[in-house]
């Protein structure tokens, strides 16, 4: 006999039984919203057989595992539709991804919009046919034979890599069979709503030396309402696309002459400099000292850090005086040399060094995306060198700094703690010390966090901060990484209380992540309508006619003298035109002046939402704007 537990309900069995049947026997009530199950951290089908004691959690679309099983099934429905309409197409892989699914397909020419529409109709037919997804396994040789018979060379190549003696997993739905480890839904009929979004090119296995495939992206939801909400969000995201807003607002752009290398225009530099000034201000308050390290350093340094052997394909290299040099892809090795410039005492630790360092990394052209994925960017790096007993307090300090910054931008966030991976370096004792230090710090601040077992860096555990913008999209920005590798590689030491030399513990951390990417994120988050303190132009004075130009100019000068970024529109245009244009530029305040305002020394305030905020004196509005800007208020 064995016992299967579902939360507060359980049942005992003396023979193998599926998750679904075990749940029914245990008296668990659930409907079509249950999609899959989780056993000991592993997501499985509802048809998965149970033959021993197990704690089972049933998953819905609200659970990550349930959503991935749902999207994975949708990708198989797409593949079945492709094989029905285009029998000569060759299938490769079709995984679930964070926001939907895709399938890479070898076809002579990429699918057009009309063909995607046809595939959607065939997918709808497959959903109505409500095929049950049935898992079966075959020995390796039989699996290869099956895929050869179906003329699926990519599947054959995948199976051929599996060691001899291992069985291969497949899923059947109707006439369609696909190589797959699962998990999947009970039937195709559960996928009620979906949309194929686009086709892009993708190299087989991500290698540019391989054939270019057609990648079809899609999204799927349990209801049409949920799908509509997601598609509406995509439309809103298009309006907020930072690439378009960067051009429209004359902030930044990426030009054909420099793919992956952003240009920042004067107003964009105002925004960038404000962010950097804010970064410097909060870091001074937190006890950091700013440093600057060279962009180009010699090969010996990168061999010591390990980048020359493990990251060289992503680095830009050159020769100087017949010696190999590299443009830095990260700031860490330079930070090591800054620490190593003298012998430190434990009394001088922690040492906190921050750098706004420009780095360069070679990215494939197909991966480039505005400011979000570039080839040169400025990382707001900091490196903290400390004694082991200082780990917890330093992690708490970094957490509070990051929390303060994201709060200033109205960006909620979630936290993930990633632990020791299989290919790690360092002793068990150091890993335990480091991981407990991170956990202890998070537990002390009381912020909930998710643990990603085995997903840490090879040199130490890490904390990742995922910010959520106003559309609910997730962006990985801040990170805190404990490193036990670099101090060893660079032979960093300090003199302890025992007058002996010891190895310091090191933290790598970023807050923005990269200045460029963070600007892209907040541009989309605010839809270009930045808070007053960040707006490149904070207010514009609009005279209703040329007779009031002198008064308008004097008002603008008063704002400039008070430290505001003010403009004055003296063009001979109608006031409605000026207001519309200023609104499109997303200037926070428009100050309309005419005869009444001139005679009373006032301005009529209108905000970019189109709301009239009434009349007030120039000094009153300066005081109000100063309070709004200094508090970094988000309206």
Q: How many CB atoms lie within 10 A of CB 49?
A: 14
Q: What's 56-118 look like in SS3?
A: EEEECCCCHHHHHHHHHHHHHHHHHHHHHHCCCCEECCCCEECCEEEEEEECCCCCCHHHHHH
Which pLDDT tens digit goes with each residue over 191-219? 999 999 999 988 898 888 899 999 999 99
Residue showing tokens 């090119």: 201
Measured from the Cβ of residue 226, the count of other Cβ atoms closer than 10 Å reads 15
3-state SS class at 335: helix
Among candidate residues 439, 366, 447, the one with its CA nearest the CA of residue 406: 447
Omega into 484 within 30° of 0, i.e. cis?
no
| 176 neighbors 76 (Cβ within 8 angstroms) | yes
Give every CB contact of residue 230 below 8 A, 6+ residues apart in sequence: 219, 221
Q: What end-to-end distance do the CA atoms of the chain give, in Å? A: 62
Dist CA 110 CA 105 (whole Å)? 9
pLDDT, residue 597, reads: 94
Rounded CA-CA distance 57/48 in Å is: 13
pLDDT of residue 21: 92
Catalytic residues: 332, 361, 379, 381, 383, 462, 508
| Residues 213 and 79: beta-carbon distance below 8 Å | no
- Pull the structure tokens for residue 326: 């590299």
Strand-pairing partners, residue 604, are 592, 615
Q: Which two tokens stand for residue 607?
A: 């905000």
What's the Cα-to-Cα distance from 63 to each of 40, 180, 476, 584, rounded to whole Å? Answer: 15, 21, 20, 40
Q: What percent of the chain has a predicted confidence (pLDDT) above 70?
A: 100
CA distance 133 to 74: 12
Sign of the CA dihedral running 511, 514, 519, 521: negative
CB of 359 closer than 8 Å to CB of 376: yes
Q: What pLDDT does 486 receive?
A: 87
Report the alpha-carbon distance of residue 60 to residue 114 in Å, rounded.
33
Q: Which residues of the chain fall below pLDDT 50?
A: none
Residues contacting 432, CB < 8 A, separation 6+: none
Length of the chain counted residue by residue: 635
DSSP 3-state of 616: strand
Sole residue written with tokens 């995948």? 158
- Strand pairing report for 176-179 and 168-173: antiparallel
Q: How far is CA 411 from the centre of its chain?
A: 13
Each residue of 429-466: pLDDT tens digit?
878 888 888 888 899 998 899 998 888 877 788 999 99
Radius of gyration, CA atoms only, the chain: 29
Q: Which residues pair with 59 in a beta bridge?
A: 36
Q: In what order do the strands lie in the sheet with 176-179?
A: 134-138, 168-173, 176-179
Element (H, E) at 298: strand 296-298
The pLDDT, as a whole number, for residue 98 is 83
Handedness of CA 323, 328, 330, 332 (dihedral sign): positive
pLDDT at 631: 94
Q: Tell me what pLDDT residue 485 has.
A: 81
Q: What is the 3-state secondary structure (H, E, C) of 414-458?
A: EEEEECCCCCCCCCHHHHHHHHHHHHHHHHHHCCCCEEECCCCEC
Element (H, E) at 464: strand 462-468
Instruction: Give residues with Cβ within 8 angstroms of 619, minimum separation 6.
Output: none
């Amino acid at each position: 006999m064995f016992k299967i537990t579902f939360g507060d309900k359980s049942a005992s069995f003396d023979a193998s039984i599926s998750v679904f049947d075990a749940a029914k026997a245990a008296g668990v009530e659930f409907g079509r919203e249950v999609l899959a199950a989780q056993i000991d951290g592993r997501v499985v089908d509802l048809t998965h057989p149970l033959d021993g004691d197990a704690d089972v959690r049933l998953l819905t679309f609200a659970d990550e595992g349930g959503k991935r099983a749902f999207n994975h099934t949708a990708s198989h429905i797409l593949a079945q539709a492709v094989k029905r309409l285009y029998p000569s197409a060759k299938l490769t892989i079709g995984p679930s991804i964070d926001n939907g699914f895709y399938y890479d397909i070898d076809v002579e020419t990429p699918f057009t919009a009309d063909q995607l529409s046809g595939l959607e109709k065939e997918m709808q037919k497959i959903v109505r046919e409500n095929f049950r997804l049935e898992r079966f396994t075959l020995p390796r040789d039989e699996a290869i034979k099956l895929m050869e018979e179906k003329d699926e060379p990519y599947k054959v190549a995948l199976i051929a890599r599996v060691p001899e003696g291992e069985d291969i997993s497949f899923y059947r739905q109707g006439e369609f069979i696909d190589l797959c480890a699962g998990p999947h839904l009970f039937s195709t009929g559960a996928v009620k709503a979906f949309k194929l979004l686009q086709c892009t090119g993708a190299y087989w296995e991500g290698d540019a030396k391989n054939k270019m495939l057609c990648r079809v992206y899609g999204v799927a939801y349990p209801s049409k309402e949920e799908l509509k909400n997601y598609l509406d969000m995509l439309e809103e995201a298009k309006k907020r696309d930072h690439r378009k807003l960067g051009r429209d607002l004359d902030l930044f752009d990426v030009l054909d002459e420099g793919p992956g290398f952003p240009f920042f225009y004067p107003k964009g530099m105002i925004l960038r400099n404000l962010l950097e000034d804010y970064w410097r201000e909060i870091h001074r308050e937190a006890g950091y000292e700013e440093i600057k390290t060279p962009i180009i350093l010699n090969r010996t340094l990168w061999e010591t850090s390990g980048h020359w052997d493990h990251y060289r394909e992503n680095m830009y290299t050159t020769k100087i005086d017949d010696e190999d040099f590299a443009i830095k892809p990260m700031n860490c090795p330079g930070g090591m040399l800054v620490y190593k410039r003298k012998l430190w005492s434990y009394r001088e630790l922690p040492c906190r060094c921050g750098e706004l360092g420009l780095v360069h990394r070679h990215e494939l052209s197909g991966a480039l995306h505005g400011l979000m994925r570039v080839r040169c960017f400025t990382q707001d790096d900091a490196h903290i060198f400390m004694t082991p007993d200082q780990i917890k307090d330093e992690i708490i300090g970094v957490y509070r700094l990051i929390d303060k910054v994201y709060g200033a931008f109205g960006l909620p966030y979630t936290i993930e703690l990633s632990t020791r991976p299989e290919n790690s370096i360092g002793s068990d004792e150091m890993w335990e010390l480091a991981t407990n230090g991170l956990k202890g710090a998070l537990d002390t601040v009381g912020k909930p966090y998710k643990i990603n077992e085995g997903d840490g860096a090879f040199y130490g555990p890490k904390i990742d901060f995922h910010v959520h913008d106003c559309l609910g999209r997730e962006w990985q920005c801040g990170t805190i990484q404990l490193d036990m590798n670099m101090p060893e590689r660079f032979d960093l030491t300090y003199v302890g209380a025992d007058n002996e030399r010891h190895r310091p513990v090191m933290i790598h951390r970023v807050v923005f992540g990269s200045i460029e990417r963070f600007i892209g994120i907040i541009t989309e988050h605010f839809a270009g309508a930045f808070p007053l303190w960040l707006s490149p132009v904070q207010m514009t004075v609009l005279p209703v006619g040329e007779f009031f130009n002198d008064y308008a100019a004097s008002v603008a000068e008063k704002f400039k003298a008070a430290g505001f970024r003010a403009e004055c529109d003296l063009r001979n245009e109608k006031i409605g035109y000026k207001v519309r244009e200023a609104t499109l530029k997303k200037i926070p305040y428009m100050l309309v002046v005419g005869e009444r305002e001139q005679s009373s020394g006032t301005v009529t305030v209108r905000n970019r939402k189109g709301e009239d905020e009434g009349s007030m004196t120039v000094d009153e509005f300066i005081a109000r704007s100063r309070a709004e800007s200094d508090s970094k208020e988000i309206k």
